[in-house]
Structure 1
Amino acid sequence: MSESTVVRKPQTSRRRMRLDNANTQKYIFLALAIIPPFGGYLLFTLFPNILSVYYSMLDWDGLTDSTFVGFSNFITAFQDQYVWRALTHNLIFMVTVPLFVVLISLLLAYLITHKSYRENGFLKVLFFFPNVLSTVVVALLFAFVYDGTYGLLNAMLKLVGIDMGNFYWLGSDKTALAAIIPAWVWGGVGLYVIIFANAMLAIPKSLYEAAILEGAGHMTRLFRITIPLVSPIIRVSALFLVVGTMKGFEIILIMTNGGPYGATDVIGLYMFNLAFGEEYRNFGYASAVGMILFVILVTAKLLMDKFLPNRGYEY
């Protein structure tokens, strides 16, 4: 071999192929993990919300050409007595339903976790059963309970000497709104019983044993140990319940459709009828009402953050 002959060895790169690089693999994994859900959020949540802001400034029935009206829909909404009536009903539900659901769920969860009943497993299934049912089934079930002729409520009242005759509880503007609350509470308690029970089981038993040695009763242990330690779970549950009662309208749609005479109308149902009802059919005005609901929900969230701070407890 001559001296001029150069033996060339295959040059090896300092780095391997890009796909073999750890940082590249990490970025690929993050992209595959983040892009699909984030893309779905942009497509099905953020974009429709931005679009609804634009729709709220239109006079549009969804079929014909739209007309830009600016903030006219918002001015009309603030002057609409039906909007304020619906918001008043929402406020009643927002206060009563989360309060009853949280209190009842806490009590039942405490009994399940601190009483050695043989039926505890069965009770958990029994309490959770309403959450397996659809909203339609729950609404129809309670509509039958409140029936004037064959209703269970009138029959039970008659057994204790209170004869209501053929009074239909959902047909009176004096009782219809209050009659919806038990149905909403009954349909939501079971889920939070399971959530609170699991949170209570995570509390060390030594804390209760020390409290018992100090002579603390069940109520003292509940309010001094259990509730403070599960308060972050209670806070999140209350937030979900408040948002659910402000946005939800399905059970009202089925039970009363906002009647009688608008006595049970809520903002979600009113907005639904504005957009898809044959009488109104105004997507623009419905979107403006939806924007008002959005502002109310954000305000409620900020108020809950202020008055129900997320305090963590160590044990």
Structure 2
Amino acid sequence: MYLLKSARFQKAIFLFIVVAPAFAAYVLFTLYPNALSIYYSFLDWDGIGAKTFIGWDNYIRLFEDPFILRALQHNLILLVTVIPITLTISLVLADLLVNRAFAENSFYKVLYFFPNVLSLVVIALVWSFIYDGTFGLLNGLLRLFGLGGEHNWLGSKSTALLSMIPLYVWCYVGFYVVIFMNAMQGIPKSLYESAILDGITHMQRFTKITLPLLSGVIRVGTIFLMLSVIKGFEYMFIMTKGGPGGSTDVISLYMFNLAFGGLNLGQHIYGYASTIGMMIFVLLVGLKLVVDKFFAKDSIEY
């Protein structure tokens, strides 16, 4: 009876009741599927029929598959373009809105965040119309300014992947503008006032005060953008199906097609697709470690 009335026991029961549902969901929907993926990666399995254990054959196949390297190259192009462009535009817009203190800042937040509430299908269809080779908005604008305007943007190997970059940037910028604005508003104004008294320029305030104090937020934003670029394939799937000629085939789309019959005349290669999933996991962990090298681990105090 004393045990039931003790504060420590009651606290433990309360924490268990609060944490148990979330932990159970994490185990059921995260840990368990990941453990199954590791197991499936050692199988020759179509996702339905009998399973055949083949050891490391799927992992050996990774290094012999030419489509893996091609897909990773496409992901690399997106990584080195989408992430710096998105972060740069987001930081500049957030700094302008916070330091100018426009009365319409709340409206701008909603406006920039708007793409994040739209359906992926709607966004893909809108941008498909923009890039349409015959009636597209982009070609129409080019014709308006006498710059041609007959190019099939999504139907050409030379422009299909590059055409996806503005789409990604447009989708992600608004979210990070809101994040960076909120972070900047938490920086004490006295720091900027002292800097102004010292006579430094706005650019110097941005580079020597704002950016260092936002390094933790920028680090997290970089990691989440990497996750989105590497794991995301929805826009390619809807707009190009990985074409033309595999020019927009990214690693996650290739994995999806293998697992669910998008390739090989409907044949499912679920075991090998799980192996690619393990490779993506290792790749993301490696990229996260690389990002940590570029950002200070210790938070900057002010």
Bin the TM-score by the shorter chain. over 0.9
- The answer as to whether partners of 2:138 and 2:149 remain within 8 angstroms in 1 is no
**Equivalent residue for 1:230?**
214
Where do 5+ consecutive residues of structure 2 fail to align? Answer: none
CA distance in 1, matches of 2:296, 2:208: 18
C-alpha deviations, 1:161-204, integer Å up to 9, x for none? 20122x22011010000000110110111111011001101111
CA distance in 2, matches of 1:307, 1:204: 25
Amino acid at match of 1:262: G
**Equivalent residue for 1:90?**
75
CA distance in 1, matches of 2:113, 2:159: 28
Amino acid at match of 1:139: A
Where do 5+ consecutive residues of structure 1 fail to align? Answer: 1-15
Amino acid at match of 1:249: F
Q: Please point out which of 115, 134, 154 is paired with 2:119.
A: 134
Q: How does 1:150-299 map to 2 (within 5 A)?
A: 150-165=135-150, 167-277=151-261, 279=265, 280-299=267-286
User: CA offset at residue 95 of structure 1?
Assistant: 1.8
Amino acid at match of 1:235: R
Identity %: 55
SS in 2 for 1:171: coil
C-alpha deviations, 1:62-107, integer Å up to 9, x for none? 2221111111111112110001100111111122111111101000
Q: State how many pairs are aligned.
A: 299
CA distance in 1, matches of 2:182, 2:276: 39
Q: How does 1:61-80 map to 2 (within 5 A)?
A: 61-80=46-65
User: CA offset at residue 206 of structure 1?
Assistant: 1.2
Q: Please point out which of 27, 39, 43 is paired with 2:12.
A: 27
Larger displacement relative to structure 2 (222-231 or 35-44): 35-44
SS in 1 for 2:268: coil
Q: TM-score, normalised by structure 2?
A: 0.96
Larger displacement relative to structure 2 (170-179 or 297-306): 297-306
- The answer as to whether partners of 2:141 and 2:149 remain within 8 angstroms in 1 is no
Q: Please point out which of 77, 82, 87 is paired with 1:102.
A: 87
Q: Which structure is larger by alpha-carbon Rg, 1 or 2?
A: 1
User: CA offset at residue 17 of structure 1?
Assistant: 4.5
- The answer as to whether partners of 1:235 and 1:310 remain within 8 angstroms in 2 is no
CA distance in 1, matches of 2:261, 2:40: 17
Larger displacement relative to structure 2 (272-281 or 167-176): 272-281
C-alpha deviations, 1:6-38, integer Å up to 9, x for none? xxxxxxxxxx55432211111101111222211
The question of 1:121 aligning with 2:110 is answered: no
SS in 2 for 1:261: coil
SS in 1 for 2:148: coil
